[in-house]
Amino acid sequence: MSASFATSAIMLALVLLGGTAVPAQDASKGAGTSASLEQTLSQMDEAARKFRTIEANFEWDQYQKVVNDTDTQKGKVYYRRQGKEVQMAADIAEPKKYVLFSEGKVAVYEPNIDRVTEYNVAKNRAEVESLLILGFGGSGHDLLKAYDVSYLGSEQVSGVNASELQLVPRSPKVRNNVERILLWIDPARGISVQQQFFQPGGDYRLAKYSDVRLEEKIPDSVFKLKTTGKTKVISPSN
């Protein structure tokens, strides 16, 4: 799946395909001693307990160092808790694409060529889900199981005095694709207003979120791909 249209979370999730899940580790490691860090993680924990639905507008900037170029995509992203799983859908405006995570699969629909590409992530579903909801309904303290987490201070982001966290993956397999992640957390709501994923070689993806709405009813149709009777479905080997 090309990083030009996949979210950074999905890119991270696909790192786990066919591989070993990130092992649970002592949550005290990498936690640091910052009271501000503990407060931010607790705010995220509280948001995770209340989480049912989230929808937001997004702007994703993918910077590629080798050509010194930035590709910008805009659209809407949706999350909801459905039974024991979390579903995620992204509607990308240009070029038009739909991304869906549901029932242990990540699917990308490209209407212009009428094709769906499906990735089966069932065997690493929990890990994939945790990456997809990073900063959106995921527990703060659960981050300590897979990342070394540090508090970098506060910064104004889209009018919010956000708490900035740095996450360094403990898994070498994940670090081969993403060296570190920055999260800007709205302390009032415990959710992310901005994310930045740094890749080896100097590439990065900056994700900005606006008009974030919590706990509103999202139609079931949002979490279904609007395919045609002629849509081709391919499933790359994992």
The predicted pLDDT at position 158 comes to: 83
Q: What angle do CA 99, 195, 102 make, to 5 degrees?
A: 25
The pairing of beta strand 115-120 with beta strand 232-234: parallel
| Contact in structure between 204 and 63 (CB atoms under 8 Å) | yes
Please give the average per-residue pLDDT across 88-103, as a whole number: 89
- Least-confidence region, from 7-11, 15-19, 73-77, 141-145: 15-19
Question: What amino acid is encoded at 6 in this protein?
Answer: A
**End-to-end Cα separation, the chain, in angstroms:** 12
Strand partners, 186: 191
Distance between CA atoms of residues 86 and 197, nearest Å: 22
CATH topology for the 34-234 domain: outer membrane lipoprotein receptor (LolB), chain A (2.50.20)
How confident is the model at residue 3, as a pLDDT?
37
Q: Is the pLDDT of residue 114 over 90?
A: yes
**Distances in whole angstroms, Cα of residue 8 to Cα of each of 34, 118, 211, 217, 231:** 28, 17, 20, 26, 26
- Continuous H helices in 25-93: 35-50
The residue type at 229: G
pLDDT of 18 > 50? The answer is no
Q: CA geometry: angle at 231 spanning 226 and 235, to 5°?
A: 100
pLDDT band per the 50, 70, 90 thresholds, residue 29 = very low
Of 92, 124, 95, 89, residue with least CA distance to 107: 89
What's the pLDDT band for 11 if we cut at 50, 70, 90? low
- The three-state secondary structure class of 34 is coil
Q: In the prediction, which pLDDT does 23 show?
A: 40
Looking at every residue in the chain, the average pLDDT score rounds to: 83
Q: Which residues contact 231 (CB under 8 A, 6 or more apart)?
A: 109, 114, 115, 116
- d(C-alpha 37, C-alpha 31), whole Å: 8
Residue type, 65: K
Mean pLDDT of 172-188: 89
More confident residue, 10 or 228: 228
Give the pLDDT score at 237. Answer: 64
**pLDDT tens-digit map of 141-177:** 999 988 999 999 999 998 899 999 999 988 887 788 8
Position 5 confidence tier, pLDDT thresholds 50, 70, 90: very low
> pLDDT confidence of 40, banded at 50, 70, 90?
very high
